[in-house]
């Protein structure tokens, strides 16, 4: 029973992490589509966390992802250079999410290899 609960929790965490990653990575095209359709920059409440992070991002990696990869053209006033702590925080969060998604696959692989 303990192994079943552990497997279920690990799988649930991986699904949640994958959904979060999908939410963040698909936000730029969806948000740009909403802006084009409405003709304004008012977004649904579902995307307010992304907007808040962009507004307080200190020209960080999420702003680079929106502008560099998706060419959103977001211009923030009083942009500062990215502090090293922001880059470290993004790196830690990214590695944690990837590790959480990969954990069930690694565990099942290790169980198959062990005699």
pLDDT of residue 78: 66
List the chain domain ranges: 2-113
Q: Tell which wins on pLDDT, 11 or 87.
A: 11
Q: Please, what is the average pLDDT of the chain?
A: 84
What are the pLDDT digits (tens) for 17-72? 999 999 989 999 988 888 888 887 778 888 888 888 887 756 577 888 888 888 88
Backbone phi, psi, residue 59, to 5°: 60, 40
pLDDT of residue 34: 86
> How far is Cα 6 from Cα 4, in angstroms, rounded to an integer?
5
Contact between residue 50 and residue 63 where contact means Cβ atoms under 8 Å apart: no
pLDDT at 80 > cutoff 90: no
């Amino acid at each position: 029973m303990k192994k079943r609960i552990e497997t279920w929790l690990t799988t649930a965490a991986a699904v949640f992490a994958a959904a979060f990653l999908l939410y963040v990575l698909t936000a730029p095209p969806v948000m740009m589509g909403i802006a084009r359709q409405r003709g304004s920059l008012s977004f649904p409440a579902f995307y307010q966390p992304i907007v808040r992070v962009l507004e307080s991002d200190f020209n960080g990696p999420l702003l680079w992802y929106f502008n560099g990869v998706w060419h959103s053209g977001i211009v923030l006033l009083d942009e500062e250079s990215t502090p090293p702590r922001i880059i470290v925080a993004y790196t830690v969060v990214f590695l944690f999410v990837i590790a959480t998604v990969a954990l069930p696959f690694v565990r099942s692989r290790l169980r198959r290899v062990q005699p």
